[in-house]
Amino acid sequence: MKLLSLRVTEFRKFSEPVLIEHFDAGINLFTGPNEAGKSTLADAIRTAFFERHRASLPQLCPWSDSSAAPEIQLEFEHHGHHYRLAKRFLKRKRCDLSIDHQRFEGEEAEQQLKQLMGFQHSSRGASDERDWGIPGLLWIEQGSAQRIADPVSHAAGRLQEVLERMVGELATGTGSDTLIAELKQQRYQLLTERTGKPRGDYDKALNRCQALEQQLAELDQAITHYQARVDELARLKQEQQDEEQQGALIQIAQQLEAARTALTEWQAKQQQLSSEQHAIATLDRQLALLKQSLDDFTRQQQQHESYRAALSTSQQTLDEVKSRLTHAHTRSTAAGEQRRQHQRLLDQARLRVDGFQRQQQLTQLEQQHRTSEQQLTRARQLAHDIQEIRQRKRELSLDRAAVTALHEQQAALNDIEIEQRVAATHLHYQLDADQQLHLGEHVLSGTGDTQLIDITRLVIPEVGILTITPGGAGLAQLSERAEAIAQHIRQQLTQLGVTSLHEADQRLAKLAQLDNELQLAEARYSDSAPQGIDALQQQLAALESDIAQQRKALEHGPAQDSNAPLPDLDALIQHQHELAQHSEQAEQQWHQLQLDAGRAEVEHQRNSEQLSRLVTALEAPERKQRLATLRNEYNELEHARQQHQQRHATLQESLASAPLTLLEQDVERLSRSLDKSRQRETQRRDSITRLEGELSSQGAQGFEEQRAELASEHARQQQRVSEFSRRAKALQLLLERLESKRQRLVQKLQAPLQEKLNHYLGILFQGASLTLNEQLVPTLLERRSATGTHSEQNELEALSFGAREQLGVVCRLAYADLLKENGHPTLIMLDDALVHSDTERLGRMKRVLFDAATRHQLLIFSCHPDAWRDLGVDEQRIDTLIQGK
Amino acid sequence: MLRLLHTADWQIGKSFGQFDPDEASLLAQARIDAIGRLATLADQHWVDVVLVAGDVFDAQTVADKTIHRVFNAMQAFSGQWVLIPGNHDAALAESVWSRAERLGAVPDNVALCLTPQPLVLDALKLTLLPAPLTQRHTYQDLTAWFDHADSPAQHYRIGLAHGSVQGVLDDSIDSANPIASERVSSAHLDYLALGDWHGVKEINPRCWYAGTPEPDRFRSNDSGHALLVSLEAPQATPSVEIVDTGSYRWHQQHYALRVDSDVDALEQWLASLNDHDVVELSLEGTLDLALHHRLERSLNQAQGRVRSLRLELHRLRIAPSEEDLAQLAADGYVGEVIDELKNEQHGEHGDTARDALILLADLLGQRRDEEASQ
């Protein structure tokens, strides 16, 4: 198709007519600034085709002129035919189409156009994008180059036809798609779309089936349980019956009774045994007594002999003791005499020694008396001396402190005198011999010095009187002070009773001496009479008394032969002591023997009596009778004991053969068994009652009938599930088959279009490929990555606006190629397309467009004339096209 | 002269799980109704005693109301009934029978023989020897004691037992609960009334299975009857009359379909059925779509008419003809798919392929009809 000319009158922006008289077969570039009317021009072409001339479209009027009659006239060629179209809207509406020399008018003309170009008219009002078909795809409106899916789908019918014609195959029309959609819908009623899991009624049936299985399992369990309990009941009843028949309980009771009897018997025997034991013990005691009696008889007989022997022995002993007694008496008498004699000797010796000792004591006392007398004399002298010294001390007593104070006063006076001498007027005189002078009261002669302290009168005999007044200041005061002190000293001395200080000092020294004497005397005194003179006098008196006593004793004592030697008293005493001991020993022996003799005599007497008693007893007549009786009795008891012993042994044997513990255990075991059996019986009875109760209530629930009903429903649900499953499988199979077939067909149909696409894509992106969906809409771009190492896929929607715009144009050109090859009219319009492309991409797009222009007529509207300068075509500025300017 | 009505295997409480709920409840009700018919029959024929040879109940734990319904249904005959337990309702320590007695559901004219003891009915000069099952399964002959059981002179000796006569029936029934085949002679019985086998069966002139009075399975075994037994005198040979008591007829049918006339024959047979028929129908063969369509219509009609129609269709194949395809306008790849599925019907997943094919054909048919109506 080739547009030849276009005339637009009173159309929207253009109140003035616009005329394009020539279109190039390839690219036609229309330029102009914004608002210049580029889009209006593109719109005019669109309107001429898409809008019905009868439609009410006031928006077509120029703004300034509501009475206008917008008109579009255009001429084009297609397949060697010449087309002329004139359409007027709103006023004097017309549509005229001439094809070569054939003319069409009104709706007929519009029908022709629709068929030729491949679009639809809207039923009423302005046309809709959905009706635009092929031109809607190829005529890109401003800013919509990137929109591809919708325009393609609106043109799909015609494109599909074209492709089918090219491939020579039928896709069973649109029917197959609705078939698939219907099958999908049916499948969706059974299975989820994505995962293909059961849903809806199918799912419900499955769930119901499972729930029923669960319930069935539970019921089965309940039934099994029920049956098990029925069996348990039967077993218990059988057991009960069996035991009743066998009388097991009675048997055990009888056994128990027997065991108890055995135990009682055992206990009786035990008692018997112990009574036997008791009897034996009693007999034993009696036998022992009898034996003792019998022994007594024997012993008496034996005693007779021993008594005789004892009597003889005691007689012998008695004789012996008596003989010894006589001897001992003799010895004792002799020792006593000897002792008495020596005692007299000793007494005499003692008297002699006593006299001698008393004489010596007297001498000693007299000596002591003399010494004491001397001491007393001396002590009396010393006491007198002490008295005397004390008297003298009292006479000389002087206050030592006062003397010390006087010495201090005297020292002060001396100091004053020294000051006076220093301050005094010195008078040196050297008188001629025997010349004298009177100085005061003093008489001066010879040579000498004196000092004048006071006003002194010097009388020079013969000459007169010189009154000398010492000139030194204070002398007078000194003199006064000296006089005062001297006065004080004098008074003190007077008080003390001394004439001078020197005398006082002497008296003090005398006193000190006296003190020493006194101390000495006192020490001597205490030596001589430590307890005083009175004590000495008493001592003396005592001594005198002792002496007198001794003298008296001596006068009364035996006469002493002072020449005779003194006896050895100690040896005598010693000897006396030995003699005494000897005597006492002898005496003691004698006494002892006396006692022994007495005892021997008593013993002998007793033995003799004992023997006589025994002899009397032995010779008694009843004794023999008694012995016979005892012997008899003993034998009888012995016999009885043997019998008891035998019985005891028998009993013991019998008891040992069946031990008590075993018998007791028997009783315990059997009574326990009886208890247990009774317990079991009770438990069984209880169990039976309980089971019967439970079973009767459970039986009423009709488990098996319920189960049968559930099983029926389960079977039905399974049937239902299997029907659903079969249907689902069938649908699945059908859909798989149909869809895979369609997919293969689509690929086959798309092949020519893909070829065209690849041609342009090769120019834009080297090695890229574009995937189309079933509706022929491009969806996926695959190209090499920036690094070139791998290929990357992009959803078309995810690409940048510029890239989408470029791909939008490329796809449209490919569709156009396809259409062209099928003899379909192709006119391509780009209204301000590709404005978002960078220079490099735009360059490639220009190559694309240039290439396309070799097959199609292209109308490019742009406000960027510079961008399109290298397209190799002349630009036509819109403003130059407006007539009348 | 002694007149007996011999029946067995009522199997009350049996459910028919493979059927729809409404069908199943009707079939269950029919078993209760059969008791009523037996009672009426007994009444009409002046029967002296009705013998029920075990399996009165299908299970031990049936609902109380089921127990009541059974005994209520027996009201129409006020004469003597004698029942023994079978393997389904054995007289266990706790059983449906002990419950029935507890519930006070058992009327006075109904004797339950729960222990192997003679039941002497002097008025009838009849000594009944029952062999009740007291365990779920026994492997000893419970009728053995009949041989040594005393009975008054001039009394009829009638045995009542439930089990399988050894060496007579095939192995398909319970081989437990055996009964010696010569029991009648060894125990000098005038008649031995047996239960367990669901069809009427004569073991010898004095020994019969009465079968169940209401059929309950497709397997054909001559069920749905009771036996009217007449004895002129003790030791006389009994005369046995088979009486129909069944309400539903159970059919198990197979048809091979290849051509139109085959379908004609099937349709004819289906037309003969009514709401007393319970049918299990299996079909095989290969049909084109048109014929399949016709078959479906006929089967749908029959479903509405008979009590129950269960179908086995998995051996049926669909082979769309050229005409079918032309009619369906299944061109392009849809046509290819139809071809594939047609061939796959014989393969491993043949059923799925056939279902898919029918589904697709239905859809296309619908579309065609819609287009035609537009």
Question: Do B61 and A716 lie within an 8 Å CB cutoff?
Answer: no
Q: pLDDT digits over A21-60, tens only?
A: 888 888 888 888 888 888 888 888 888 888 888 888 878 8
What are the φ/ψ torsions at residue A335 (nearest 5 degrees)? -65, -35
B314 in contact with chain A, both atoms CB, cutoff 8 A: no
Q: Does the pLDDT of residue A169 top 60, yes or no?
A: no
Rg (CA), chain A: 93
pLDDT of residue B171: 54
Which pLDDT score, from 0 to 100, does residue A559 have? 64
Is B359 within 8 Å of A175 when comparing Cβ atoms?
no
- pLDDT number for residue B169: 66
Residue A352 belongs to what H/E stretch? helix A248-396
Instruction: Tell me if B363 and A701 make a contact (CB, 8 A cut-off).
Output: no
Query: Which of B313, B215, B270, B260 is closest to B14 using CA atoms?
Result: B215
- Say how far apart CA A461 and CA A825 lie, in whole Å: 205
Residues near A592 by beta carbon (within 8 Å), at least 6 away in sequence: none
Say whether residue B105 is in contact with chain A using an 8 A CB cutoff. Answer: no
Substitution target from A714, A727, A734 for chain B, most B beta carbons within 10 A: A734
What percentage of residues in chain A have a pLDDT greater than 70? 97
Q: Output the pLDDT for position A295.
A: 87
Banded pLDDT at A511 (limits 50, 70, 90): confident
CB atoms A737 and B94 under 8 Å: no
Contacts of B359 in chain A (CB under 8 A): 183, 727, 730-731, 734
Cβ neighbour number for residue A674 with a 10 Å cutoff: 17
Higher per-residue pLDDT: A171 or B215:
B215
According to DSSP H, which parts of A532-568 are helical? 532-556
Give the start-end residues of each E strand in A649-776: 769-772
* pLDDT confidence of residue B224: 92
Model pLDDT, residue A48:
85
Residue B211: its pLDDT value, please? 92
Contact yes or no for A171/B332 (Cβ under 8 A):
yes
CA-nearest of A175, A189, A706 to B368 is A175
- Whether B279 and B145 map to the same domain: the answer is no
B20 touching A, CB under 8 A? yes
pLDDT of residue B277: 92
Q: Decide if A121 contacts A106 (C-beta within 8 A).
A: no
> Are residues B309 and B368 both part of a single domain?
yes
Looking at beta carbons, which residues of chain B come within 8 Å of A184? none
Nearest to A705 among B16, B63, B364 (CB): B63
What pLDDT score does A175 carry? 62
Q: What is the token pair recorded at A32? A: 């102009």
Q: Is B372 an interface residue toward A (CB < 8 Å)?
A: no
Q: Which residues contact A300 (CB under 8 A, 6 or more apart)?
A: A614, A617, A618
Which two tokens mark A347? 């007494």
Contact check, Cβ <8 Å, B334/A738: yes
Cβ of B102 under 8 Å from any chain A Cβ? yes
Least confident of A601-605, A802-806, B314-318: B314-318
Listed in order, strand segments (DSSP E) in A354-513 are 425-430, 436-439, 442-445, 447-452, 456-460, 464-468
Could you tell me the CA-to-CA distances from A463 to A87, A436, A451, B20 in Å, in that order? 205, 11, 21, 208
Instruction: Report pLDDT for A55.
Output: 82
Per-residue pLDDT, A116: 86
- Listing DSSP states for A636-653 in one string gives HHHHHHHHHHHHHHHHHH
Residues of A in contact with B353 (CB under 8 A): 733
Q: What is the pLDDT of residue A348?
A: 82
Judge whether B66 is closer than 8 Å to chain A, CB to CB. yes
Q: Are B152 and B21 in a shared domain?
A: yes
Q: Which amino acid is at A149?
A: A
Rounded Cα distance, B86 and B55, in Å: 4
* Rg over CA atoms, chain B: 27
| Rounded Cα gap, residues B154 and A682, in angstroms | 48
Q: What is the pLDDT of residue B193?
A: 95
Q: Which of B244, B271, B286 is the last residue of a domain?
A: B244
Closest residue to B61, CB basis, from A178, A702, A726: A702
Mean pLDDT throughout A183-200?
85
Amino acid occupying residue A515: D
pLDDT > 90 fraction of chain A, expressed in percent and rounded:
6
pLDDT recorded at residue A773: 78
CATH of the domain at B195: 3.60.21.10
- How confident is the model over A517-575, as pLDDT tens digits? 888 888 888 887 888 888 888 888 888 888 888 888 777 766 666 666 777 888 888 98
CB count in 10 Å sphere of residue B45: 16
Domain co-membership, B108 together with B92 = yes
Closest CB to A734: pick one of B58, B64, B360: B360
Question: Given this model, what pLDDT does residue A471 score?
Answer: 67
- The Cα–Cα gap between A42 and A829 comes to 8
Task: Give the distance from residue B283's alpha carbon to the nearest chain A alpha carbon, in angstroms.
Answer: 18
Q: Which two tokens stand for residue A329?
A: 């008496």
Same domain, yes or no, for B186 and B322? no
Tell me the per-residue pLDDT of A633-692, one tens digit each, with 9 for 90 and over: 889 989 999 999 999 999 888 888 878 888 888 889 989 988 988 888 888 889 888 888
CB A290 within 8 A of CB A637: yes
User: Has residue A170 got a pLDDT over 70?
Assistant: no
Write down the mean pLDDT value for chain A. 85
pLDDT-derived band at A884, boundaries 50, 70, 90: low
Nearest chain A residue to B135 by CA: give it: A231
Contact B21 A712 (CB under 8 A): yes
CB-CB contact of A386 with A525 (8 Å): yes
pLDDT score for A167: 67
A183 contact residues in B (CB cutoff 8 A) = 359, 363
For residue A759, pLDDT beyond 60: yes
Tokens of A304: 């007779």
Contact list in B for residue A160 (CB cut-off 8 A) is: none
Same domain, B272 and B354: yes
> Which one of B115, B135, B333, B339 makes the best mutation probe of the A interface by having the most chain A beta carbons within 10 Å?
B333
pLDDT at residue A626 greater than cutoff 90: no
Q: Are residues B162 and B286 in the same domain?
A: no
Rounded distance between C-alpha atoms, residue A387 and residue A395, angstroms: 13
CA distance B115 to A181: 71
Of A223, A699, A745, the CB nearest to B99: A699
CB contact under 8 A, B359 and A734: yes
Q: Of A703, A220, A711, which is closest to residue B17 (Cα–Cα)?
A: A711
Least confident of A273-277, A283-287, A490-494: A490-494
| Cα–Cα distance measured from residue B20 to residue A533, given in angstroms and rounded to the nearest whole number | 171
Nearest to B17 among A182, A695, A715 (CB): A715
Q: Per-residue pLDDT tens for A225-243?
A: 888 888 888 888 888 888 8
The domain boundary, picked from B222, B244, B266, lies at B244
- Cβ–Cβ gap B14/A696 under 8 Å: no
End residue of a domain, out of B215, B244, B273: B244
Tokens representing residue B170 in the block = 């095939």
More confident residue, B169 or A342: A342
| Domain around B313 | 249-373
On whether both B75 and B192 belong to a single domain, the answer is yes
Asked if B61 and A237 come within 8 Å (Cβ–Cβ), the reply is no
Q: Distance (Å, rounded) from C-alpha B52 to C-alpha B193?
A: 8
Asked if residue B253 and residue B233 are part of one domain, the reply reads: no
Instruction: Give the C-alpha separation, B238 to B206, whole Å.
Output: 7
Nearest chain A residue to B344 by CA: give it.
A733
The chain A residue lying nearest B23, using CA atoms, is A712
Question: Do B86 and B166 belong together in one domain?
Answer: yes
pLDDT value for B86? 92
CB A700 within 8 A of CB B64: yes
The residue with tokens 């190209």 is A783
pLDDT at A885 over 70: no
Q: Name the maximum alpha-carbon separation found in chain A.
A: 233
How many interface pairs between A and B have CB atoms less than 8 angstroms apart? Answer: 144
Q: How close is the nearest chain B Cα to the Cα of A752, in Å?
A: 20
Domains identified in chain B, total number: 2
Tell me: do B174 and B156 sit in the same domain. yes
Taking a C-beta distance cutoff of 8 angstroms, is the pair A190, A724 a contact? yes
Which among B215, B343, B190, B196 has a CA at the least distance from the CA of B277?
A: B215
Residue A141 has pLDDT above 90, yes or no: no
pLDDT digits (tens, 9 = 90+) for A389-408: 889 888 888 888 888 888 88
The yes-or-no verdict on residue A591 having pLDDT over 60 is yes
Side chain identity, residue A792: E
Q: Which residue of A has its CA nearest to B17?
A: A712
Q: Do the beta carbons of residue A177 and residue B367 sit within 8 Å?
A: no
| 8-state DSSP, A198 | B
CB contact under 8 Å between A716 and B20, yes or no, is yes
CA distance to partner chain A, nearest, from residue B6 (Å)? 26
- Do B219 and B347 lie in one domain? The reply is no
* Region A836-859 average pLDDT: 88
Question: Would you call B18 an interface residue with chain A, using a CB distance cutoff of 8 Å?
Answer: yes
Closest residue in A to B329 (Cα) is: A172
Q: Which residues of chain B have pLDDT under 50?
A: none
| Contact between B163 and B134 (Cβ < 8 Å) | no
Reply yes or no on whether the pLDDT at A210 is more than 70: yes
Distance CA(A274)–CA(A474), nearest Å, equals 156
**Cβ separation A226–B21 shorter than 8 A:** no
Look at residue B29 in the predicted model and tell me its pLDDT. Answer: 92
| DSSP state for residue B197 in the 8-state scheme | -
B371: closest CA of chain A, how far (Å): 11
* Domains of chain A, each with CATH number or no CATH: 2-148+777-881 (3.40.50.300), 425-471 (no CATH)
Beta-bridge mates of residue B82: B51, B111
Residues A191/A199, Cβ–Cβ less than 8 Å: yes
Q: Where are the alpha helices (DSSP H) in A440-568?
A: 475-496, 501-528, 532-556
CB neighbourhood size of A810 (10 A):
25
Decide: B12 and B57 in contact? Cβ < 8 Å.
Answer: yes
3-class state of residue A669 by DSSP = helix
